[in-house]
Amino acid sequence: MAYFLGIDVSTTSSKALIIDDSGGVIAVASSPHSLQTPKPLWSEQDPQEWWTAVCACIRSALDQAHILRDSIEAIGLTGQMHGLVLLDDAGNVLRPAILWNDQRTQDQCEEIHQKIGREKFIQITGNVALTGFTAPKILWVKENEPEVFERARHVLLPKDYIRFKLTGEYAMDKADGAGTVLFDLRKRDWSDEVLNILGIPRSWMPRTFEGTEFTGSITEQAAALTGLSVGTMVAAGGGDQAAGAVGMGAVETGVVSLTVGTSGVVFATTPSALIEPQGRLHAFCHAVPGMWHFMGVMLSAAGSLQWFHDTLASKTSFDDLVKEAEDIPAGSEGLQFLPYLSGERTPYPDPLARGAFIGLTLRHSRAHMTRAVLEGVSFGLKDSFTLIQNAGLGTITQVRASGGGTKSQLWRQILASVLNTELVTVNTSEGGAYGAALLAGVGAGAWSDISTACRDCIKISGNTNPDPGQVETYQKAYSIYQSLYPSLQKQFINLNTLT
């Protein structure tokens, strides 16, 4: 039997997952990371800590699996997107990695739009410049740490630093490459025009590969540290969202992945490089060769419920808190919640947006507020669905739901009714690491293509249909929800002056 290893370098930990050639998970191990915030709005990590964690969890997974290390036929990589790792000519790390959730680069985002033109930048890269992306981070280093910039010779993303440590090769997949916003989206490779205008040397950017292509093999040094065999092939893989979509089977047009974790992500595969005209959706290359995807991101999805629980109901279990809301009618009797507790990204790229309860009366109880939180997050996710449909994707045939928020039957029902579509769950729950392992398996020939791998390994495990009695109520409530941010946007700015 052949086995495939998926490695996920997330923000909080590294994970190693081993599957067999039928898609069954036989071992999972993880090792935590620490996070540094040396200044307000900064978010950094030490790449060496990732490497130490990866080595530890690979060894642990191999021990659990009780298989010969030669049985691992191929390895796939995934991890947190957009983070900047700068290396010198010898491959040494020059400074801590600047992560996806770092917010220091707003001035550089405006600089990018000014130098290239906002509309032109959207048409080339498929996106507006946001603080989370890699390109403005490079400019920040150039302008604030010129001595580091002068020594830089290689730009990598977090998982691609691990690739370098495993194989000695500088390489990147096309999905994560597009997420730097230095890509020509349609050409699926670096944009010489964008790089030239921003003064970023083309020689710093690694060669890019489709998700199933091999980028190198395990070196002797890496084998000694991980327990893997010298020469084991390493596939390109994909950024966490693209690989996670593979792990959910969201690899064909019309099948949408909905993740309700701390943040919320709506992911839709597209057959061509579609672009939302105003850049309100992320448009990236998919880890599936020759495919692209739209992605809408809300920053506080299940995180909104976490905040509500911790702040107002910390002595009540989540299950009991949500159960209280089951008896509240759809629409929460006129109470609405704006889930902008961390600012927002889609459809409003606004770091100053703020959360709010609107419509409170003496009649409203904690149960009403809980349900309003669940409904408000669902409306926020519907914003992304609406943009995706209006941007040319067409009919959404199925929504595959995952993440901690979708474990709640009530929340799944609210989501199905708000979106007015069937929600299904699947038999896999390991997300990006599982998708990375499948990408490696396809590269090794275990499956003919990604669609076949997903059909063979990923099965529907449950479904939730819209409640006809709730759909009309939610359509009316959503219309009101859509009007709230535009009405409050100026006041959000004013409120920020008080802090």
Tens place of pLDDT per residue across the chain (499 aa): 899 999 999 999 999 999 999 999 999 999 999 999 999 889 999 999 999 999 999 999 999 999 888 899 999 999 999 999 999 999 999 999 999 988 899 999 999 999 999 999 999 999 999 998 999 999 999 999 999 999 999 999 999 999 999 999 999 999 999 999 999 999 999 999 999 999 999 999 999 999 999 999 999 999 999 999 999 999 999 999 999 999 999 998 889 999 998 889 999 999 999 999 999 999 999 999 999 999 999 989 999 999 999 999 999 999 999 999 999 999 999 999 999 998 898 999 888 899 999 999 999 999 999 999 999 999 999 999 999 988 887 778 889 999 889 999 999 999 999 999 999 999 988 889 999 999 999 999 999 999 999 999 999 999 999 999 999 999 999 999 999 999 999 999 999 899 7
Which residues form the domain of 364? 249-499
Residues 151 and 254 in one domain: no
What 3-state class would DSSP assign to 195?
Answer: helix
Residues 223 and 347 in one domain: no
Q: Please report whether residue 244 resides in a domain.
A: no
Question: Which residues sit opposite 464 in a β-bridge?
Answer: 423
pLDDT given for residue 438 in this prediction: 98
Q: Please report whether residue 8 resides in a domain.
A: yes
Residues 231 and 272 in one domain: no
Residues 259 and 344 in one domain: yes
Q: Please report whether residue 91 resides in a domain.
A: yes
- Does this model's pTM top 0.85? yes
Of 187, 209, 237, the domain-final residue:
237
pLDDT given for residue 396 in this prediction: 84
Cis bond before residue 466 (omega within 30° of 0): no
- What's 391's DSSP letter? I
Of 202, 237, 272, the domain-final residue:
237
Residues 230 and 334 in one domain: no
If you search the block for the tokens 């191999």, which residue do you land on? 62
Q: What is the largest CA-CA distance in the chain?
A: 69
Residues 429 and 311 in one domain: yes
Residue 278: count other Cβ atoms within 10 Å of its Cβ. 14
Q: Looking at the 3D structure of the chain, how many domains does it have?
A: 2
| Closest C-alpha among 462, 461, 443, 463 to residue 453 | 443
Residues 226 and 256 in one domain: no
**Would you say 256 and 388 are in contact if contact means Cβ atoms under 8 Å apart?**
yes
Q: Which residue among the candidates 20, 173, 176, 240 is catalytic per the annotation?
A: 240
Q: Please report whether residue 200 resides in a domain.
A: yes
Tell me the C-alpha distance between 305 and 490, whole Å: 26
Query: Annotated catalytic, 240?
Result: yes
| Closest C-alpha among 490, 477, 494 to residue 337 | 477
Residues 353 and 458 in one domain: yes
Question: Which residues sit opposite 394 in a β-bridge?
Answer: none
Question: Which residues sit opposite 270 in a β-bridge?
Answer: 292
Residues 258 and 175 in one domain: no
Q: Please report whether residue 243 resides in a domain.
A: no
pLDDT given for residue 342 in this prediction: 87
Residues 209 and 282 in one domain: no
Residues 213 and 279 in one domain: no
Helix runs in 227-358, H state only: 240-248, 302-312, 318-325
* CATH number, domain with residue 284: 3.30.420.40
Tell me the C-alpha distance between 137 and 133, whole Å: 7
pLDDT given for residue 394 in this prediction: 74
Of 187, 204, 237, the domain-final residue:
237
Element (H, E) at 448: none
DSSP string for 265-289: EEEEEESS----TTS-SEEEE-SST
Q: Helix count (H) and strand count (E) of the chain?
A: 17, 23
Q: Tokens for 455? A: 């059909």
pLDDT given for residue 392 in this prediction: 80
